[in-house]
Amino acid sequence: MAYTEDDLKEELKSKEYEFGFTTDIESDKISIGLTEDTIRLISEKKNEPDWLLAYRLKAFNVWQAMHEPEWAHVKYNKPDFQAISYYAAPKQKKVLESLDEVDPELRKTMEKLGISLEEQKRLSGVAVDFVMDSVSVATSFKEKLGELGIIFCSFGEAVQNHPDLIKKYMGSVVPMTDNFYAALNSAVFTDGSFCYIPKGVRCPMELSTYFRINESGTGQFERTLVVADKGSYCSYLEGCTAPQRDENQLHAAVVELIALDDAEIKYSTVQNWYPGDDKGIGGVFNFVTKRGLCEKNAKISWTQVETGSAVTWKYPSCILKGDNSIGEFYSVAVTNNFQQADTGTKMLHIGKNTRSTIISKGISAGKSQNSYRGLVKIGKNAQNARNFSQCDSLLMSDRCGAHTFPYIECDNPTAKVEHEATTSKIGEDQIFYCLQRGIDEEKAIGLIVNGYAKEVLNKLPMEFAVEAQKLLEISLEGSVG
Amino acid sequence: MLRINDLHASIEGKKILNGITLEVNAGEIHAIMGPNGSGKSTLASVIAGKEEYEIESGEILFNNEELTELKPEERAREGVFLAFQYPVEIPGVSNINFLRTALNEKRAHQGLDPMAAKEFLALVKEKAALVQLDDKLKNRSVNEGFSGGEKKRNEIFQMAMLNPKLAVLDETDSGLDIDALRIVAHGVNTLKSAENATIVVTHYQRLLDYIVPDFVHVLYNGKIVKTGSKELALELEEKGYDWIKQELGEEIQA
Amino acid sequence: MGEALTKKNRFLSSLTEGNSTHSYAALKELEHLDFPNRKTEDWRYTRVAPLINKLLRQSAVRPETENFYIPQLQSHKIVFSNGNLIKNEVADNNRITIKKLETSDLLLNSQASIDEIFTTINTAYTHGGIYIHLDKNTILEKPIEIIHLIDGQNTFAQIRKLIVLEQGAEAQIVEGYYSSETGLSFTNAVSEIIVKDNAKLHLDKIQFESEEHWHINSEYVYQESNSNFTINTITLNGGTVRNGLNISVDGNNCETNLNGLYLLKGKQHVDNHTKVDHKQPHCTSSELYKGMIDDQATGVFNGKVFVREDAQKIEAFQQNSNILLSENASMNAKPELEIYADDVKCSHGSTTGQFDDEALFYLKSRGISEKNAHALMAAGFAEDVLVNVTNEFIKLHINKLLKERFNWEL
């Protein structure tokens, strides 16, 4: 790999949050608070059809009757849902015809994030749907994808242009009643991404979205829906950053993946929302519901590298409904300072010969708490189902915690379920070996941690893998001593 | 090059080295022999700067600089290399990436730019051939899944890449069959020059048939009790370490 | 809530309260406690509703039967009948106390507050149990054998034990639980065990009650420095069995071994909950739980290892292996690690599957019948746990029970 640690040092002049800048653009932000009127306003601003407003209002009713979950191994001050602004769209003068028309300030932000659209367009062949706060500002490669019949657009556009697909699939994997935050999202989501791959089409490029919380005091409630029709394939990348803000910001997204017969979806996330400072002040609350449904012979693979957020609560899951379907979950979660993460997956084996693999690598440093929570359920009819889970935790300080909470439920005698977990300190002999070869401690830890996480990093597309490696090192800087 | 004066060291309160004095000059090969528990590996670890060991008194001068003041990585960059008795496995970290990082750290220390990829790969090819290291091993994780012999060859390969001034080979012969032993010895002998020095720590004389020492020191109870030429190693082989013990016993009685 | 409260009061209404300050305190505490339901995380996989809907009573004694003693085992014999102590062989050594436990001797709550409802019920309604105390450096030569006999027909047996090993003492205890074949009955057993500095306790627990029987067993073990505690829980029969082991390791250099074997068939439900709480550094704990589950039976394993802040150099190992033998059998496993210190080595593994086909084929290819091949495999599977039962007479006895219930020759 072209990447070396020296490149990293070059880029990082300080240990501060790299993306901690805010963009000063005029923002169309509605006043704080959440009532039915807020929802009507969001729906109106987005020019939505009645059925969607009805859906939102129903979700709002469901949400009001629910309580914020408390079972996760995290402690935080619950957000005040009336103190959040539920809509912030960068103000734009007119509908954009091409990238050149995008607000220069916004373009600068993108460039700082390293995802300059034309660069991407020219060099890497990545189609980027850039979501800043809640509205998708620019979508590239649409035309090229269009030739193949692939739809890749903002959720809002999809509601306007492909209402049948949205109606059919939205909420089919994550119903609005699923949990507190999914219900909230269903009521107030502002935008997100939609992707549809037609039958038998292999999407020729990585589809990519960057999410970014920019406005202070806004919650990000985006929704992603990916539908891979029979025999199709796509790889979807999601990157998240948030600038430095003092108050905690809420991010409650819903991601639904549908892989129809023989289809495959690869969904990769690199998440580095602002984690708060070294005193535990600020940072993003990341309460996300991600789930995929596999029909016959389908495959869904989740890969995530999580280094950010003050509190994370996230379990990308697979419902293995169709026979022979496959679910995978590869995760690296790093917590430092006062971060708390409770993350893992659910693999629900319903169909025959279904297979799942879980590889989870937790790394805790500072005073952080890092938990793996997972469910493997083998249903009565899941003949010959197989699961293998490996959950490792690496501890880097004597004041952090690493926890493992797997649930294994097996109702079929032909199934095989294997779960292994280890928790240990970073190897002192490994560090000394590196030191003896002239590599300093910080670098040695970077090497060892990246090696430890390699099994997961290898699953990421190349562009992401390099970024992820750097992120691991950035988030652990200064954690040794 | 290396001057150790009356070195006393302990681990967890247990005294291991009881006054070692040793001088190693450029161009020399020294063998340190001794029975199990005599402190051989401790001496190697102390030179490399392993933190568990406490230096109670004495000094280790490397090119007239006090080595004990330096961190392990600084010693390495100054040119001290330890071939580990038990090379450590680092899962997921490729051997090549590891070496490149190490090499460039050393170059940075010397005020040199990082080595260009092409040049680096050529060097890897050249040095790997020296110890007949399989191509596949270069790209595998550091020492992970290597056989005992492959691990030891990998140590010498790293030594060749980093080109140290002082190499300390800690029981490099243990667990090696005769072919691997020859390969390792060939590597060490090839790397030998008038500018560098080697300390071979071993329990058996066998390795010294292939790496011929200028001096042989016998370590016993944390002290060098006997120093001689390579013939001393043969004598030890023949008479066993009990001979040293007896001789010492007589000395004490006399 | 209201309905649940009525249920609780109804369930407790037929019981006779104990009369000590401990009982009163527990009664008071009971007002705030409720029976676990499906939302109670610790009871996620075990429903108690069928039990608490029954009206049970604390029954009188039934005659002792010699048959239940482990053949050939030289031991100090203690017999409980329906929760009442009926036989208590006093040890011939005055450094060993084996006597009836008075409710005023109860130790609970002085060591830790326990808000577990079945334990609190035991404290509130128990009328004594057994107290075993070994003086400093006393080494028990013969094992202590405790037999529990329970009648069917809605009997509610409350069993209470207090076991204290002073510094350097060593003991081996074997317990057997047996019930008559007819009707539902309920054993609610609570033990408090204190293993002091350098002391060593080995406990074998054999559960062989009827398929309609309910058994909730709660052990609270406190280990001090350099102590060694081993428990083997062998569950070969019983309707619904819940074993809760709570080990508080509050000293350096302790060793803790928890092993379990559960062989289930019919509609049995067996739930093994273990909690090892490492509060001090330099200790090791090891757990091995293995189960074979047939027919419509359900197994549950929930093992939790805590390593507290600053409890460095802990090595904790946990393994749970299950074999499902029938299409209606189920297994729920939840091995957990909660670690707050960094210099530790902790691991757990859990597998659920079936016998290795290739191994079965290998056996058959050597002329062994299918049935015997299975029995051999089963024996091998169980042996990993049974090897920890070190007394040969106890082991022979377990083999006899296995033959009786499964027709296996191990």
Residue A102 pLDDT exceeds 60: no
The reported pLDDT for the residue numbered A214 is 58
Query: What are the chain A neighbours of B109 within 8 Å (beta carbons)?
Result: 438
The reported pLDDT for the residue numbered A129 is 61
Whether C329 contacts chain A with CB within 8 A:
yes
Collect all residues with Cβ–Cβ distance below 8 Å to A473 and sequence separation of at least 6.
Answer: A5, A8, A446, A449, A450
Choice among A140-154, A313-327, A388-402, C316-330 with the minimum mean pLDDT: A140-154
Structural domain count of chain C: 2
Q: In this structure, what are the phi and psi dihedrals at residue C301, rounded to the nearest 5 degrees? A: -130, 125
Whether B163 contacts chain A with CB within 8 A:
no
- Which B positions 48-107 lie with beta carbon below 8 A of chain A? 48-51, 71-73, 75-77, 81-82, 84, 87-93, 97-102, 104-106
What is the tens place of the pLDDT at every residue in A24-76? 555 667 777 889 999 999 899 889 999 999 999 999 999 999 998 888 888 88
Residues A77-85, mean pLDDT to the nearest whole number: 84
> Which residue of B88, B89, B102 is in closest CB contact with A439?
B102
- Give the number of A-B residue pairs with CB atoms closer than 8 Å: 89
Residue A137 pLDDT exceeds 60: no
> b/e map of B174-191 (b: 16 or more CB within 10 Å)?
eebeeebbebbbbbbeeb
Q: Do A410 and C324 touch (CB under 8 A)?
A: yes
> Which residue of B51, B91, B162 is in closest CB contact with A437?
B162
Q: Do chains C and A touch (3 or more CB pairs under 8 A)?
A: yes
Q: Which residue of chain B comes nearest to A1, CA vs CA? A: B97
Q: Which residue of chain A comes nearest to C297, CA vs CA? A: A411
Tell me which of A409, A418, A445 to substitute to probe the interface with C (most C C-beta atoms closer than 10 Å): A409
Separation in Å, CA C228 to CA A278, A395, C111, C202, C307: 42, 28, 19, 8, 18
The reported pLDDT for the residue numbered A1 is 36
Q: Do chains B and C touch (3 or more CB pairs under 8 A)?
A: no
| Helix C392-406, helix C370-386: angle, nearest 10 | 140
The rounded distance, in Å, linking the Cα atoms of A423 and A395 is 7
| A436 neighbors B158 (Cβ within 8 angstroms) | no
Both structure tokens of A26: 């005029």
Separation in Å, CA A471 to CA A300, A332, A446: 25, 11, 10
ipTM over 0.90: no
- Judge if C73 and C194 occupy the same domain: yes
Q: Choose one of C250, C277, C296: the last residue of a domain.
A: C250
Asked whether residue C103 is assigned to any structural domain, the reply reads: yes
Chains that touch B (3 or more CB pairs under 8 A): A
Both structure tokens of A16: 């501060």
Bridge partners (DSSP) of residue A4 are: none
Whether B189 contacts chain A with CB within 8 A:
no
The rounded distance, in Å, linking the Cα atoms of C103 and C84 is 13
Mean of the per-residue pLDDT values of chain A: 83
pLDDT-derived band at A134, boundaries 50, 70, 90: very low
Asked whether residue C274 is assigned to any structural domain, the reply reads: no
In Å, the largest CA–CA distance within chain C is: 67
Our measurement of the distance from residue C278's CA atom to the centroid of its chain's CA atoms, rounded to an integer in Å, reads: 20
The reported pLDDT for the residue numbered A106 is 54
Q: Choose one of C232, C250, C268: the last residue of a domain.
A: C250
Q: Which residue type, as a one-letter code, is found at position A437?
A: R
> Which residue of A398, A417, A420 is in closest CB contact with C342?
A398
Q: Write the burial class of residue C358 (CB in 10 Å: 0-12 exposed, 13-18 middle, 19+ buried).
A: exposed
What is the set of domains in chain B, with CATH numbers? 2-253 (3.40.50.300)
Tokens 């935050």 belong to residue: A181
Asked whether residue C37 is assigned to any structural domain, the reply reads: yes
Q: Do C332 and A416 touch (CB under 8 A)?
A: no
Collect all residues with Cβ–Cβ distance below 8 Å to A103 and sequence separation of at least 6.
Answer: A25, A90, A92
Asked whether residue C320 is assigned to any structural domain, the reply reads: no
Closest among C158, C144, C14, C181 to C80, alpha carbons compared? C158
Residue A464 pLDDT exceeds 90: no
Whether C330 contacts chain A with CB within 8 A:
yes
- Give the number of A-C residue pairs with CB atoms closer than 8 Å: 114
Separation in Å, CA B43 to CA A203, A266, B54: 61, 53, 12
Collect all residues with Cβ–Cβ distance below 8 Å to A347 and sequence separation of at least 6.
Answer: A317, A318, A320, A327, A329, A356, A358, A374, A375, A376, A377, A387
The reported pLDDT for the residue numbered A100 is 60
pTM over 0.90, yes/no: no
The reported pLDDT for the residue numbered C107 is 67
Query: What are the chain B neighbours of A5 within 8 Å (beta carbons)?
Result: 101
| Per-residue confidence in pLDDT tens, chain C, 410 aa | 456 568 888 888 888 888 788 888 888 888 888 899 888 889 999 999 889 888 888 877 766 666 789 999 999 999 998 888 888 887 777 889 898 887 767 666 544 456 789 999 998 988 879 999 999 999 998 999 999 998 877 889 999 999 999 999 999 999 999 987 777 889 999 999 999 999 999 999 999 999 999 999 999 999 999 999 999 999 999 999 999 999 999 999 999 999 999 999 999 999 999 999 999 999 999 999 999 999 999 999 999 999 999 999 999 999 999 999 999 999 999 999 999 999 999 999 999 999 888 888 877 778 788 888 888 888 889 999 999 999 999 999 999 998 888 877 65
Give the other-Cβ count within 10 Å of C118's Cβ. 22
Distance from CA of C311 to the nearest CA of A (A): 10
Q: Do A399 and C353 touch (CB under 8 A)?
A: no
Residue B243 pLDDT exceeds 90: no
The reported pLDDT for the residue numbered A217 is 57
Both structure tokens of B27: 């161009």
Q: Do A437 and B158 touch (CB under 8 A)?
A: yes
> Which residue of B72, B91, B99 is in closest CB contact with A436?
B72
Bridge partners (DSSP) of residue B8 are: B18, B57
- Judge if C219 and C368 occupy the same domain: no
Instruction: Name the residue range of residue C224's domain.
Output: 2-250
Give the other-Cβ count within 10 Å of A430's Cβ. 22
> Which residue of C309, C334, C344 is in closest CB contact with A424?
C344
Please give the full DSSP string across A100-115, using - where no structure is assigned. Answer: GGS-HHHHHHHHHTT-
The rounded distance, in Å, linking the Cα atoms of B15 and B13 is 6
Query: What are the chain B neighbours of A440 within 8 Å (beta carbons)?
Result: 73, 105
Asked whether residue C189 is assigned to any structural domain, the reply reads: yes
Decide: helix, strand or coil at residue B242: helix
- Judge if C361 and C239 occupy the same domain: no
Q: Choose one of C250, C266, C291: the last residue of a domain.
A: C250
Tell me which of B47, B75, B88, B96 to substitute to probe the interface with A (most A C-beta atoms closer than 10 Å): B88
Chains that touch C (3 or more CB pairs under 8 A): A
Residues B125-143, mean pLDDT to the nearest whole number: 87
Asked whether residue C349 is assigned to any structural domain, the reply reads: no
Asked whether residue C168 is assigned to any structural domain, the reply reads: yes
Q: Which residue type, as a one-letter code, is found at position B186?
A: H
Q: Which residue type, as a one-letter code, is found at position A336?
A: N
Collect all residues with Cβ–Cβ distance below 8 Å to A266 and sequence separation of at least 6.
Answer: A234, A235, A236, A300, A301, A303
What residue spans define the domains of chain A?
5-476
Whether B151 contacts chain A with CB within 8 A:
no
The reported pLDDT for the residue numbered B44 is 94
The reported pLDDT for the residue numbered A90 is 57
The rounded distance, in Å, linking the Cα atoms of A37 and A40 is 5
